[in-house]
Amino acid sequence: MIPAAFEYYRPTDMAGVIALLQEHGDDARVIAGGHSLIPMMKLRMAEVPHLIDLQDIDGLGAISVADGVVRIGAMTTQHDIINSDALKAAAPIMKEAALQIADPQVRYMGTVGGNVANGDPGNDMPGLMQCLNAQFHVTGPDGDRVIDAREFYEAAYMTEREDDEVLTAISFAAPLGGYAYEKQKRKIGDYATAAAAVQMSKDGGKVATASIAMTNLSDVPVWSKAAAEALIGSTCDDASLKAAITAMLDDIDPTEDNRGPVAFKRHAAGIVLGRAIARAWSRA
C-alpha cells in the first residue's frame, strides 16, 4: 500500500530535530532506518503527517570503546555492529545477536536506535540491552538525560522516552565472561518466537555473575533477576539450569498469536534459554 501524505524533513543538527518535534507535537515522528515505521505507514497502521529523518545528523553513527565502556550511536546499523572489530572484542554478543536480525538487506539500513526506541516487544536489541544493563541517552528540549534500559519499557510501543525526545546513543560497561544470544523463529527474517540473551562470568569453577533477558514473550522485554540468581554460585549443573528456566518462566507472560499458542511459546522459551545458558557457560 501507499502511505498517507506527509511532510518530509531532513535537519542537519539535533536542535533542528527538537524544534520540529516541538512545532508539530503528536503529528511528528523521527525516522532512523525506517524498518519499523515505514511498513506501519504503508499499511495505514500509523499516520505521520510530519516525518523527520535523522540521516544527516553528525555523530549518531559512531561506535567507541574507551576505559571499559562501549558507546554506540543511535544511527549505527546492524551491519556496522557486525563489522566492528572493536565491538566484537569488547562485546561479542552484539555481533551474535545482530547476525540473527532479519536479513542482510534489512541489516544494512536497520539501526540499533530504531530497534530499541520504538518499544516493539518483538525486536531483538531491547532484551539484549537489558541483559547488558545498558543506558539509553536521549536529547530533548530540556537537554540530555540517561534512562536505564531495564526501566525504559512500559508496555508494547510505550517507553520512558518523551515524544519530543530523541534517542541519541546507547552505552554499557564491556561485559566479562561468556555470552550467548539464542533465537527460535519460524523462518529467516522473522521475529523471534522466543529469544534469550545471557552473559555470565566464572570464578573457581562456579558462576560468579549472570544476567538473563528474553524477547517477545511479554509485551516488554523480560530481564529476570531471579533466573540469574538461580545460577550464581552454582557449577551451572542440571539442577541450577532447571531452576533458572523455572524462574524465567514465572516472569514471562506470552500471548497466543500466529507464532503459536501460549503452551508452545513457554516450551520454546525453556529450550532456548537452556541452550543459551549452556553456550554462555562453555564460553565463560
Contact 95, 85 (CB under 8 A): no
CB-based burial, 40-53: b 16+ in 10 Å, e otherwise: bbeeeebebebbbe
The Cα 89–Cα 213 span in angstroms is 22
pLDDT score, position 84: 98
The Cα 269–Cα 13 span in angstroms is 43
Q: CB 77: neighbour CB atoms within 10 A? A: 22
Strand order in the sheet with 166-173: 63-66, 69-73, 166-173, 135-140, 143-148
Contact 26, 163 (CB under 8 A): yes
State pTM to two decimals.
Answer: 0.94
Contact 237, 272 (CB under 8 A): no
The Cα 19–Cα 46 span in angstroms is 22
Name the residue among 12, 77, 76, 20 with its Cα closest to residue 48: 20
In terms of DSSP H, where are the helices of the chain? 14-24, 37-42, 78-82, 85-90, 92-98, 104-109, 112-117, 125-131, 149-152, 225-231, 238-251, 262-283
Inter-residue long-range contacts of 2-5, CB under 8 Å, 24+ positions, other chains counted: 2/42, 3/38, 3/41, 3/42, 3/44, 3/47, 3/48, 4/41, 4/44, 4/47, 4/49, 5/49
Q: What is the pLDDT along the chain (284 residues), one digit of tens a residue?
A: 788 899 999 999 999 999 999 999 989 999 998 878 887 888 887 888 999 999 999 999 999 999 999 999 999 999 999 999 999 999 999 999 999 998 888 899 999 999 999 899 999 999 999 999 999 999 999 999 999 999 999 999 999 999 999 999 999 999 999 999 999 999 888 899 999 999 999 999 999 999 999 999 999 999 999 999 999 999 999 999 999 999 999 999 999 999 999 999 999 999 999 999 999 999 99
- What structural domains does the chain harbor? 7-53 (3.30.43.10), 63-173 (3.30.465.10), 178-283 (3.30.390.50)
pLDDT score, position 187: 86
Strand order in the sheet with 206-215: 178-184, 194-203, 206-215, 222-223
